Amino acid sequence: MHRSGAVMAWNVFKFCTALRGLGSIMILLVLGVVGVSYYAVVLCNYFPALISGGLDSLVALVVLLLFHGLLVMLLWSYFSVVLTDPGGVPLNWKPVVDEENGDADLLDGSEFSQLAGEPTNLGVRYCRKCNQLKPPRCHHCSVCGRCILKMDHHCVWVVNCVGALNYKYFLLFLFYTFLETTLVTLSLLSHFIMFFTDEEIPGSPSSLATTFLAFVLNLAFALSVFGFLIMHISLVAGNTTTIEAYEKQTTPKWRFDLGRKKNFEQVFGMDKHYWFIPTYSEEDIRRMPALQGLEYPSKPESDGLEF
């Protein structure tokens, strides 16, 4: 029995190591899909139409402007997710307790060691792998090897955990990826249909093959990303993460649900001018401790996060 447990732990370790090794490959794959799409839409089809003149030139101009605008936002959001730390637990973090109720300094001295053996004490959890207390909504990521604040999931596509500090960027990446892939699919649809007609298709064999591949790839991504986008919109509306989705189903009233407006503002910030760009206003940055989930509520009935 002990040997079986050791084998399982070793398999999990190898799996996590493999996920770490996918890093540069997944980034290159994303950039590869972007490159194929760019070659098919801009170089093979719409830039030649732009310089040809006439009505086709006007259509090409609109498509190229939308394509490049969405591409900039997609790549900005993508690398913001990749390069932004999702949020780790500060060294020697302890929950803020209610001194009026006589709960102050409950985690000092011997109580800390007792808590390590009793994770449910006072509602505070303890990570045995990191040997530290865990704030609310914090989970340990086996791939990153540390606890992540308000962890949603570890995403191989962005080679990073999605947590408190980059969840907005991840959602914007999904949003702009859906818009961009939908645009590419629609702009190449007429060219794709030509493959199944008797019409003569202009272009070299390589450009035709690239156009066909770009259409199929972008259609597949548009459909799959749409599903993920709808799922995460519902999670944001209920102030829930992917990990917490099951816990929410087993709870009569989800303790972090503050209403759709405040739930949305917790992820995207209070300033409307920053909602659709992967950054926060200075005012929202000052509210980051609450966003990260570091403020531990003192009473169960008020157990929620406030901006």
Confidence (pLDDT) at 56: 83
- Judge whether residue 302 has pLDDT over 70: no
Confidence (pLDDT) at 52: 80
What is the pTM assigned to this prediction?
0.82
Mean pLDDT, all residues of the chain: 80
- Judge whether residue 107 has pLDDT over 60: no
On the 0-12 / 13-18 / 19+ scale of CB atoms within 10 A, 84 is: buried
User: Does residue 144 carry a catalytic annotation?
Assistant: no
- Judge whether residue 5 has pLDDT over 80: no
- Highest average pLDDT, of 66-80, 139-153, 203-217, 290-304, comes from 66-80
pLDDT tens across 255-291, in order?
888 899 999 998 999 999 999 999 999 888 887 766 5
**C-alpha to C-alpha distance for 76 and 38, rounded to whole angstroms:** 16
pLDDT tens across 15-72, in order?
455 555 566 788 899 999 999 999 999 999 999 988 887 788 999 999 999 999 999 9
Which tops the pLDDT comparison, 298 or 199? 199
Q: Which of 138, 144, 155, 161 is catalytic?
A: 155
Check if the beta carbon of residue 208 is closer than 8 Å to that of residue 194: no
pLDDT tens across 186-227, in order?
999 988 888 887 677 777 788 889 999 999 999 999 999 999
Where in the chain are the domains? 24-89+151-307, 92-134
